Amino acid sequence: MLEGSILYGLADACQRKPHLPQLDYGVYYKNTLVALCHALEDCILSSNSDPVMVAAFQRGQWYLQEADRYGEIAKKADSIAILAVPEAGFAEHPTSQCDNVSIVSIDPEDPVAQEWHLAIVSPTYTAMVLCQELLPAEYGPAGVPENDLERKFYGFWTFDRNLVLEAIALLVDRAGNYDKSLQASLGQKIEAIATRLDRNSDEPDDLGDIVSRVVNYLRESDRDLEARLYDSASPYQKALSNNLTSNELQAYIRMAQLVDLADAKNPQAGAEVATLCEMMGHLLDLPAWQIDRLRLASLFHRLDYLPGQASETEMKQTEKIAPCCRLVPGAQVLRKMPKLRAIATIVNHQTEWWNGEGQPASFSHDTIPLESRILGLMVQFQKRLRDLGDLPRQQQLATALEKCQAEKGQRWDPKLVEALSLLVMGMQQGMNLPVELPKASAGMWLIDDLSLRSNEKLKIKN
């Protein structure tokens, strides 16, 4: 990490400021970053807000490749600032002449010249890509790749509001080294948007639509990559494709984490439910692939409550895949990634009741997927523990269990309630259940073909 870079400055701020989370780094190929940035940029075109966007393109030639796109984005954005080392045509392109587009020609020795950044601040969402290109020595014996798409970058991307606001402030300050009036103008606009965000206004949250767009872009990029390298012997094809797929999953994990953090009373619901479900899986002697799938469904269980409605086209596609019942919005979002369709089924049916009085399909008994039955029970048990937080731990466990036992045979599978009784007994006797927050950049194990088997492994087909 280059000293003096924006990435370095943000990492330092995360160490000093308690309201900022620790950074979750990953390594990204250029083709992945292009897809991510295009998805986040195009969200501006479909949103009803006027965001501020600051981007760092390393060199003017990379900006010129995107300048026409940025001309369309400029019609919707309030302000756009571009930082890059100047090259021929960099400042002369028509987009650069737009009143709300500012070109900042940075010194080639500025560490930002080695970075790739995109930061968007809007009243309805925040998003950011913050990466630094690997130095030649960091590529190892193979050296810098000849194919431009195989260049690697170290960093992260996020929707986290606090991180985005901190990073865009650093970018604006760096722009101020070259243009003080631009720094003042952007600073005022960002401060005004941040104030609106802090007020928890009634303006809609675009996060669900943004994640869907990110997944679509990454998948389309993967198809393009496969077509381009179909007749190629490139050893990087699988690595490039895996990087794209991993980031599709990261989009969902980040969205799930933000949904959790929005609940001040229960900010670790996903991680805690995942731990409980994993332990239940072991008690029930489930195979490893099924426990992995249950854990992932647990992390995503709150997406079930996302607001939104699928488009007519998406509903028709859903009917072909799942004619049995309607899909809740969160499951619709998950189904955009084919590898997560089994997870979508689990999440979709977590609110079914053992006696058939639940939703969305009024399934009963063993027609409810086993993982859905476990997930629904553990979600309620964890929530009840949180609601009883003022009581001593032993009393919390006993009371939460009693409430679940009272619903045995009606809401819950009696055998699962008995298994929960064993789990609670162990917890009362001091058994520790470590809760680990998922690292979004290390999620490839979650989409292993063995772990996420097709819906054929479920008790029903959704």
Q: What is the pLDDT along the chain (462 residues), one digit of tens a residue?
A: 888 899 999 999 999 998 888 887 888 878 778 888 888 888 888 777 789 999 998 888 888 888 888 889 999 899 999 998 888 677 888 888 899 999 999 999 999 988 989 999 988 888 898 998 888 778 777 777 777 767 888 888 888 888 999 999 999 999 999 999 999 999 999 999 888 877 654 444 566 667 666 766 666 665 665 555 544 555 555 665 665 666 667 677 777 776 776 677 888 888 899 999 999 999 999 998 899 889 889 988 887 654 443 444 443 444 444 444 555 555 666 776 667 888 888 988 999 999 999 988 899 999 999 999 999 999 999 999 999 988 998 999 999 999 999 999 999 999 999 999 999 998 888 777 766 665 544 444 444 443 444 444 444 333
Examine the fold and report which residue of 207, 226, 255 is the final residue of a domain before the chain moves on.
255
Token representation of residue 225: 């990559």
| 177 belongs to a structural domain | yes
Examine the fold and report which residue of 203, 226, 255 is the final residue of a domain before the chain moves on.
255
Say whether both 34 and 91 belong to one domain. Answer: yes
**Residue 208 DSSP SS3:** helix
356: left (phi over 0), alpha (psi -120 to 50) or beta: left
- For 233, the domain range is 6-255
Say whether both 103 and 239 belong to one domain. Answer: yes
Distance CA 104, CA 172 (A): 11
Q: pTM of the full predicted structure?
A: 0.67
| 260 belongs to a structural domain | no
Q: What is the CA radius of gyration of the chain?
A: 24
Say whether both 251 and 271 belong to one domain. Answer: no
Distance CA 303, CA 215 (A): 15
Report the candidate in 362, 364, 324, 358 with the shortest Cα–Cα distance to residue 344.
324
Say whether both 177 and 293 belong to one domain. Answer: no
Distance CA 173, CA 205 (A): 28
Distance CA 211, CA 251 (A): 6
Report the candidate in 86, 82, 114 with the shortest Cα–Cα distance to residue 98.
82
Q: Sheet holding 52-59: strands in order across?
A: 26-29, 152-158, 126-133, 115-121, 52-59, 79-85, 101-105
Say if CB 299 and CB 275 are below 8 A apart: no
Examine the fold and report which residue of 231, 255, 279 is the final residue of a domain before the chain moves on.
255
Distance CA 91, CA 94 (A): 8
| 1 belongs to a structural domain | no
| 324 belongs to a structural domain | yes
Say if CB 216 and CB 336 are below 8 A apart: yes
Question: Structurally, how many domains does the chain consist of?
Answer: 2
What letter represents residue 95's amino acid?
Answer: T
Say whether both 128 and 202 belong to one domain. Answer: yes
Residue 85 φ/ψ, nearest 5 degrees: -70, 125
Distance CA 268, CA 265 (A): 9
Quote the pLDDT of residue 452. 43
Say whether both 270 and 221 belong to one domain. Answer: no
Question: Judging by beta carbons within 10 Å of its beta carbon (0-12, 13-18, 19+), is residue 72 exposed, middle or buried?
Answer: middle
273: domain CATH number is: 1.10.3210.10
Report the candidate in 61, 39, 32, 66 with the shortest Cα–Cα distance to residue 225.
32
Say whether both 218 and 358 belong to one domain. Answer: no
Rounded-to-5 percentages of helix, strand, coil across the chain:
55, 10, 35
The DSSP bridge pattern shows strands 126-133 and 115-121 to be antiparallel
| 193 belongs to a structural domain | yes
| 223 belongs to a structural domain | yes
Omega prior to 136 cis, within 30 of 0: no
Report the candidate in 43, 57, 123 with the shortest Cα–Cα distance to residue 96.
57
Token representation of residue 145: 């790749």
Quote the pLDDT of residue 205. 57
Say whether both 234 and 356 belong to one domain. Answer: no
Say whether both 234 and 292 belong to one domain. Answer: no
| 462 belongs to a structural domain | no
Say if CB 52 and CB 190 are below 8 A apart: yes
Say if CB 255 and CB 40 are below 8 A apart: no
Say whether both 316 and 357 belong to one domain. Answer: yes
| 372 belongs to a structural domain | yes
Say if CB 422 and CB 283 are below 8 A apart: yes
Quote the pLDDT of residue 245. 65
Say whether both 248 and 270 belong to one domain. Answer: no
Distance CA 334, CA 313 (A): 16
Say whether both 324 and 184 belong to one domain. Answer: no
Say if CB 258 and CB 207 are below 8 A apart: yes
